[in-house]
């Protein structure tokens, strides 16, 4: 295989100002977040250096271990019972994973810290940079900027060439040739370079393979939970871009009965939306959604974009099914919207599998058809997404889709395992 020349990357650093952390809001009441100041020392050795971010149940800080002089991240939970239970679950899950795992966040230390708001659980983990969402956004922005410059250059070049061309030469070229030439120069917006997509896909699949081998299901794999091992400003070449899978607060073992909704809806598999038990293949579905997003820059099942499309039509409540019995101004629930998008791109739902779902009758009629599908939501395919939106060739598209469909199968039993996917020819190219 011919080696690809890798250009250095020039990323714009995303700064997080400490002023963004408002410790006077309701989240810092009793039972809420832990009030922390730069310079505080926790557990006698962890000096707080800077604020990194916050999630639903914790804040994250950069700290210095005064004993070993190493920098770490420290995740400090809210002081209420529910969030403490989430933290306890994450700790128990991370303890099951081998230490020094290359592509999974490592639990280094655990302790409790008492503040005026209550007792907080503190988890010391690897210090990482931004998440995969930030990397995707930076690459997409760079691509858009590059294409904007190219478009301007083409306009100038075309203007110069048109002014120099005689009427005779224009006639000799012919109208059709001229149009074809312009069309061939269209620049499509893509996201990460393909070699980098494959590298990150391999790393993510290795992380998933490792946790699945420990009978752990993550349940919330998404770009925001995949951290870069370096900050964007320190990334210069491909070798600097590596990931760690993080945020195991909602993870559980395969021995637990799994029928509740999981993770983030845009990355949730159909069985979860319909209320069926799910297993390891749920994580595989999420990985497939992420790979598509790394290639195109777009979320595959973006219900927000769906409603933007709906608003462009005179009636966004116009449905193809006569089963709809809602009010005129009712909107489809998000879950049904996502199922309609899955149906549009990936095909139908086998009733023999999904009719056992807790919410099946809510979304499907007696014939196994989705109750409500907007008339403007046209049929499309994965192939069309790559060819029409990103300008890939048919050959490139077929190879990508063959790989993605091994993860994005409506039938969870047909999805490949992480180990099988790592041996796929597409990743070896």
Residue-wise pLDDT for 173-222, tens only, equals 333 333 343 433 445 667 899 999 999 999 999 999 999 999 999 999 99
CA distance 201 to 359: 33
Angle (nearest 5°) at CA 184 between 183 and 187: 85
* Per-residue pLDDT tens over the stretch 79-114: 999 889 999 999 999 999 988 899 999 999 999 999
Stronger pLDDT, 276 or 171, i.e. the higher one: 276
pLDDT at residue 262 in the model:
72
Model pLDDT, residue 409 = 96
- Level-2 CATH architecture, domain 194-428: Orthogonal Bundle (1.10)
Q: Please say if the pLDDT value at position 315 is more than 70.
A: no
Number of continuous H segments (helices) and E segments (strands) in the chain: 15, 10
Which of the pair, 360 or 330, is modelled with greater confidence?
360
C-alpha distances in angstroms, 224 versus 53, 122, 132?
12, 21, 6
Q: Which of 170-174, 252-256, 306-310, 406-410 has the highest mean pLDDT?
A: 406-410
For residue 300, what are its two tokens? Answer: 């595959």
155 CB burial (10 A radius; 0-12, 13-18, 19+)? exposed
Residue 103's pLDDT is: 96
pLDDT in the model for residue 46: 97
Q: Where are the domains of the chain?
A: 18-125, 194-428
Q: Do domains 18-125 and 194-428 have the same CATH topology?
A: no
The DSSP output letter for 104 is B
Give the closest residue to 190 by CA, choosing from 140, 141, 137: 140
Reported as a pLDDT band with limits 50, 70 and 90, residue 355 is very high
| 18-125 to CATH, choices 3.30.565.10, 3.40.50.2300, 3.30.200.20, 3.30.365.10 | 3.30.200.20
Q: What value does the mean pLDDT take over residues 142-159?
A: 52
> What does the DSSP 8-state code read for residue 240?
G
Q: Take residue 114 and report the two structure tokens written for it.
A: 């008492």
Q: Give residue-wise pLDDT tens across range 20-58.
A: 456 667 688 889 999 999 999 999 999 999 999 888 889
Question: Among the listed ranges 73-82, 302-311, 399-408, which one has the minimum average pLDDT value?
Answer: 302-311
- Measure the CA–CA gap between 76 and 21, rounded to whole angstroms: 14
- For tokens 């070798």, name the residue: 239
Instruction: Dump the DSSP string for 350-394.
Output: -HHHHTTSTTHHHHB-TTS-BS--BTT-----HHHHHHHHH---H
Q: How many residues comprise the chain? A: 429
Mean pLDDT over residues 220-246, rounded? Answer: 91
pLDDT, residue 329, reads 39
Mean pLDDT of 248-270: 82
């Amino acid at each position: 295989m011919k080696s690809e020349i890798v250009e250095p990357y020039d990323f714009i650093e995303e700064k997080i100002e400490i002023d963004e952390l408002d410790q006077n809001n309701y989240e810092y009441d009793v039972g809420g977040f832990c009030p922390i100041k730069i310079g505080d020392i926790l557990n006698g050795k962890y000096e707080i250096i800077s604020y990194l971010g916050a999630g639903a149940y914790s804040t994250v800080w950069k700290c210095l271990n005064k004993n070993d002089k190493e920098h770490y991240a420290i995740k400090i939970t809210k002081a209420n019972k529910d969030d403490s239970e989430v933290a306890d679950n994450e700790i128990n899950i991370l303890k099951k994973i081998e230490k020094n795992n290359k592509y999974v966040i490592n639990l280094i230390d655990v302790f409790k810290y008492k503040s005026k708001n209550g007792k907080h659980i503190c988890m010391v983990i690897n210090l990482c940079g931004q998440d995969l969402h930030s990397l995707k956004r930076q690459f997409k922005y760079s691509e858009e900027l590059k294409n904007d410059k190219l478009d301007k250059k083409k306009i100038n070049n075309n203007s110069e060439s048109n002014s120099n061309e005689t009427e005779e030469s224009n006639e000799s070229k012919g109208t059709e040739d001229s149009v074809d030439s312009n069309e061939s120069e269209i620049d499509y917006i893509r996201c990460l370079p393909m070699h980098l997509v494959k590298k990150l896909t391999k790393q993510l699949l290795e992380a998933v393979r490792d946790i699945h081998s420990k009978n752990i299901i993550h349940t919330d794999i998404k770009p925001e939970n995949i951290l870069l091992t370096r900050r964007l400003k320190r990334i210069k070449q491909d070798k600097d871009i590596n990931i760690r899978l993080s945020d195991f607060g909602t993870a559980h073992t395969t021995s637990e009965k799994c029928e509740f909704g999981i993770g983030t809806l845009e990355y949730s598999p159909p069985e979860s939306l319909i209320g069926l038990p799910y297993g390891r293949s749920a994580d595989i579905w999420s990985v497939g959604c992420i790979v598509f997003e790394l290639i195109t820059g777009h979320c595959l099942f973006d219900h927000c974009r769906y409603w933007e499309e709906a608003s462009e039509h005179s009636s966004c409540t116009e449905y193809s099914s006569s089963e709809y019995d809602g009010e005129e101004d009712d909107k489809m629930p998000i879950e049904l919207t996502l199922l309609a998008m899955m149906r549009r791109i990936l095909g139908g739902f086998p009733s023999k599998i999904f009719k056992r779902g807790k919410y099946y009758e809510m979304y499907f009629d007696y014939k196994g058809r989705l109750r409500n599908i907007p008339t403007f939501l046209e049929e499309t395919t994965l192939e069309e997404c790559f060819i029409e939106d990103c300008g890939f060739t048919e050959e490139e598209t077929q190879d990508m889709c063959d790989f993605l469909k091994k993860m994005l199968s409506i039938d969870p039993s047909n999805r490949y395992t992480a180990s099988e996917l790592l041996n796929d020819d597409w990743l070896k190219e």
